[in-house]
Each structure stands twice: as structure tokens, then as C-alpha cells.
Amino acid sequence: MKYLIFSDVHGNLEALEAVVVRGKTLGVEFYICLGDIIGYGANPNECIDTVRNLPDCVCVKGNHDAAVVDPSERSFFHSVALEGVLYTEAELTKDNKKFIADLPYVYTTELFIAVHASPYKPESWEYVLDQGGAKRSFGAMQQQVAFIGHSHTPVVFSDDGRAERFLPGDRLKIAKGIRYVVNVGSVGQPRDGNPDASFVVFDDQTLAVEIVRVEYDRKAAAEKILKAGLPPVLAERLLVGY
């Protein structure tokens, strides 16, 4: 099966729609959303509706998703992120709030685990930024591969000690006897210096993971953020990828 695995849409409808269009051209059969559908961007309901309407899709909960429906999750949010949460809370329909609240923390198959932050205590929202975080992830995994988001930066950690940025056009072949943590990057708020939406395609027959970057109308998404009265930095980030 060919999976499209994506994360951190953050209310950016233009980016999400571009990813869905590209996915259709790539012949993907199953979608996995790694959470944070909402927060920061101006179109939370539309983004949730788009994810919910994808054929054969599962979604796990991200920290922004959790914070919108549970105020106790907001204690570590900086002021800009909190403004996004409060805007989203006011905008979401009752049905979409329930959808977010009911999301699980993890999705697993025999081969891989999908989680927003880390397989190690998924509900604690740890960032996997280095070999220490990767080691804790490997210790908590029963599967060979973990797909994660959260840091908005595509990177691959392997349990043989390697850590490599996942750049456009890169293709990872899952090797026997090696375990991997694959950060798929962000659809709606990339922070690796490349403003294009990021996701991966995983083929469980060939055991290949491919990073895909997609251009979208960043200016339109940024203008919506400003019009909604959200912090200007959230619009500026879209244009530069930081």
C-alpha cells in the first residue's frame, strides 16, 4: 500500500489542498495525518473538514489540537501560539471540536507507528531534535519505523547513530535490521528554510519513503492570517519557511 503521511497543517487550507492534489497524482491509497490540523492558520474548520473527507484516512492528535479542546494543555504555549489556539477555539464548530477531542495519540501497524511528537510518552509532546530524543523513541517502539511531526523539520534518525535532513527528492530505503524515526515536516508551517508544504509517501511493498515538497499560494494564506487578526509573524513565516 502507498501511504501519504503528513503533519502540522495548522489551519493552512491552501497548503493542505495542494498536498491533496499532489497525492492524487502520486496514486496514494491511504492518508495518515500526524496531528496539529489546527492552530496558527485562518481556516481551522475547512482544514478539519478536508482531512475528515479524505478517503481512507486516519488522524492522530497533536498538541495544538489538544490545546484547543483542553485548556490544561496550554500551559507551555508561548503568546503567539496561544493566540492561534484561542482564535481556533472560537471558530471551531461543535462537531469539529468533538472530532479533535476524540483523536487517539497513536496509530500503529505491524511495520510502523504514527504519532505527532514521539513514541516515547506521546501525550507529553517531546520534540525529537537529536540522538537523545531519537534514542528514547527507539526504546518505546515495537515497530521498525516511526513517522512523526511536531518540529516542522524533515529529518531521519536511525538507530545506527545517523541523523540526516530529509531534502526534496531524497528517498529512504528501509533496511533490514535498522530502525528509523522519520519526521515528515510540516504542511502548513515549514520551518526548515523551505516554505513549500512537506509530506512523505511510504510504500510498504518496496519499503521506500520519499519526501515531497509542494508549492502553494503562500501569499493568499498569509493574507487570510492578517485579515483574521492573528499575529503578523504567523503570516511572515509562511513566506520564508521559518
pLDDT in tens, 73-87: 999 999 999 999 999
CA distance linking residue 105 with residue 30, whole number of Å? 18
CA distance linking residue 92 with residue 185, whole number of Å? 25
CA distance linking residue 130 with residue 67, whole number of Å? 25
Which pLDDT does position 112 carry in this prediction? 98
- Intervals of the chain under pLDDT 70: none
Residue 221 sits in a domain whose CATH number is 3.60.21.10
Which pLDDT does position 11 carry in this prediction? 98
Residue that is written with C-alpha cell 509562511 in the block = 238
Residue ranges with strand state E in 29-141:
30-33, 57-59, 106-108, 112-115
Which pLDDT does position 14 carry in this prediction? 98
Which pLDDT does position 220 carry in this prediction? 98
pTM for this prediction: 0.97
Which pLDDT does position 169 carry in this prediction? 87
Domain holding 227, by residue range, is: 2-240
How many domains does the chain contain in total?
1
CA distance linking residue 83 with residue 7, whole number of Å? 20
Q: Are 197 and 190 in contact (CB under 8 A)?
A: yes
